[in-house]
Amino acid sequence: MIENKTVDDVMQNEPMIPEFPESGDEQRAFFLGQTARLDWAELAPFFARGQVVSVAESVDLIDAALAMATDDAPRLQAWMAEHSVAVLDTDRAKLWAEGSLALWAVVVTPWVLVQARSRSADLH
């Protein structure tokens, strides 16, 4: 697990990221260990590069990361068709920039998958 690192640190220092495990349980644990709460300021540069993927609350963030990392195209296409997983649009980015939502992120290089949650839900 990489601690006290910003998303930018992780993206620039990829050799520090442990090798992606082969088994499903280990893959899930890998992404759980890489998931962190971030501020919009940390995500903004990735948004500017078109690398932020929004994941709806109805989709488990780790499941989305696993689908992307293992190239599970049918699953990703289904989520994309229902707009549950999509490249972050400007309107949603403005909402996230207001800071009223808790942003949870996990990196699946070159993407940063982000799920916004209400701050009250974040406390539970």
Q: Does 29 fall in a domain? A: no
Look at residue 91 and tell me if it is in a domain: yes
The torsion defined by the Cα of 114, 116, 120 and 122, in degrees rounded to 10, comes to -10
Work out the number of other CB atoms within 10 angstroms of the CB of residue 105. 24
Residue 99 lies in a domain: yes
Two structure tokens written together for 86: 């999509």
Q: Find, among 119, 85, 114, 113, the residue nearest to 99 by Cα.
A: 119
* Residues forming a β-bridge with 114: 54, 105
Q: How many domains does the chain have?
A: 1
pLDDT at 89 over 50: yes
Structural domain including 81 reads: 7-12+34-122
Q: What is the pLDDT of residue 99?
A: 87
64 has a pLDDT exceeding 90: yes
pLDDT value of residue 121: 54
Whether residue 56 is contained in a domain is answered as yes
Over residues 13-60, the pLDDT tens digits come to: 544 455 666 767 888 898 998 899 999 999 999 999 999 999 999 999
Q: Looking at 23-27, 92-96, 101-105, which range is the least confident one? A: 23-27
Predicted pLDDT at 124: 40
Residue 94 maps to a domain: yes
In a domain, 27, yes or no: no
Residue 112 in any domain: the answer is yes
Return the amino acid letter for 58: S
Confidence class of residue 5 from pLDDT cuts 50, 70 and 90? Answer: low
| Within-domain flag for 58 | yes
Amino acid in the structure at residue 77:
Q
| Res. 77: pLDDT tops 90 | yes
